[in-house]
Structure 1
Amino acid sequence: MHRHVRAAHIRLGVLPAILAVALAAFTPAASHAQAKWLTYTNVRFAFAVDYPADLFPSYVESDNSDGATFNAAGEGVAFRAFGFWNNDHQRPRALLKERYEGKKLDYSAVKQDSFVASGRQQGRDGAAIFYDRCHFAGERVVCVNLVYPAADKKKWDAIVPRLTRSLRALAGGRQRAGLSRATLRQ
């Protein structure tokens, strides 16, 4: 009988450690939401977006300075922030329809000056989720595009809202190509 009591005691003594490990497995999403975020600012199209520095440690500015491709720390993740001229003076609903014609969207919403769209696609490493947000600012359209593995949905659900809602048009635009910068944003 003493053996059973001792085994139960050992199991109960290990239980807090097991719970701590299990809890740690669920905290990365929350920790990324609280991690250090930087702000990418694009001079040519006058927009900014915040991003978690630990997940995107660097970025490459496009040759024509219309935006940047962020280098992800994880596999199967792609993040771009970019702008373009709305030469055809399209409204958000029309551009949404044009960009996603023939694709099945899981979610979309259109406002007077923006749209969001999300769905599933086949990524390099299997099933992936994409999330796009575009904001219309005069003659400019500024967008973020994020693609991540469907298997990591729970992690990214904590990050996507802050990242995409931080997209903002700044005063200016129609400037010649210039350098962009990353600055600390808490």
Structure 2
Amino acid sequence: MDISRNDVSRGHFELSRIDALREGEAFQGATPSFLERIRIECGCVDLTGDLDVATFRLLAVVIISLVPATVVAASIQWQRYVIPSTGTNVEIPVTIFSRDAELPDGGTGRRFYTDDRRADLTVQSVANPENDSPAAFLAKKNPPPGIVYKRVTPNFFVVSSIRNDRIWYNRCNRSAGYMNCVLINYPAAEKRQWDRVVTRISHTLAN
């Protein structure tokens, strides 16, 4: 959903860091220590070192795919991003969204990308001069048909669906004169890996 923006303001990161969180199996490769644990715990890998690298890597991938996400989770570091002009702030996984840029239309906020740009996150404050309710604001933006998930309350709205094999997720919180939003786009095939990351971003969005 394309939301118009006003004013140009570049946000900034607070100096304090959010503690690293163990989650998100697909965002980083397994560490050497984890692969060594596979060697020992699996009982199906030659510990003498005679197994060739290609075969071991293939076996590791198979094993990783069969265990729960929490077992193969890699450390993700989070930082709180703040839009100075509005005070809107949200926790961002900076080890996932490692690149950023100004909003293409000069809006108030920032856009973040993964290294390969397969996913992106936009944090923005959208002017709401009439102080429309979340329901009224959403209706004025003419959201696309076929929305899979929709929740509207007096304080915020969430909408999400799939387009071109990508999941888009929008949340906007109401504040005085603004709707403060996060917009996330990521591959639909990676939904399971993204679920907890998207949830944390959504739940930490604050005015």
Aligned-residue RMSD, C-alpha: 2.9
1:37 to 78, 82, 102: 78
Deviations 1:4-24 (A, max 9, x none): xxxxxxxx6349978754453
SS at structure 2 position matched to 1:56: coil
1:72 aligns with 2:110: no
Give, in whole Å, the separation in 1 of the partners of 2:203 and 2:44. Answer: 45
SS at structure 1 position matched to 2:193: helix
1:59 to 88, 92, 100: 100
1:151 aligns with 2:151: no
Q: Where do 5+ consecutive residues of structure 1 fail to align?
A: 1-11, 170-186
Is 1:114–1:135's contact at 8 Å kept on the other side of the alignment?
A: yes
Partner of 1:142: 180
Partner of 1:13: 44
SS at structure 2 position matched to 1:94: helix
Give the aligned residue type for 1:38.
Answer: Q
Give, in whole Å, the separation in 1 of the partners of 2:142 and 2:72. Answer: 31
Give, in whole Å, the separation in 2 of the partners of 1:30 and 1:73. Answer: 21
Partner of 1:106: 148
TM-score by length of 2: 0.64
1:50 to 65, 74, 91: 91
Give the aligned residue type for 1:147.
Answer: N
Q: Pick closer, same or farther for the CA change 1:82–1:29 going to 2, 3 Å.
A: farther
Q: Where do 5+ consecutive residues of structure 2 fail to align?
A: 1-42, 48-55
SS at structure 2 position matched to 1:43: coil
Give, in whole Å, the separation in 2 of the partners of 1:91 and 1:52. Answer: 30
Cα distance, 1:75 vs. partner?
A: 3.8
Give the aligned residue type for 1:77.
Answer: A
TM-score by length of 1: 0.71
Give, in whole Å, the separation in 2 of the partners of 1:100 and 1:15. Answer: 59
Identify which range, 129-138 or 86-95, moves more after superposition.
86-95
SS at structure 2 position matched to 1:36: strand
Cα distance, 1:72 vs. partner?
A: 1.5
Partner of 1:166: 204
Q: Pick closer, same or farther for the CA change 1:22–1:15 going to 2, 3 Å.
A: farther
Aligned residue pairs total 154
Give the aligned residue type for 2:44.
Answer: G
Which structure's CA Rg is the greater one?
A: 1
User: Identity of aligned pairs, percent?
Assistant: 25
Deviations 1:106-131 (A, max 9, x none): 00111111000100112xxxx11000
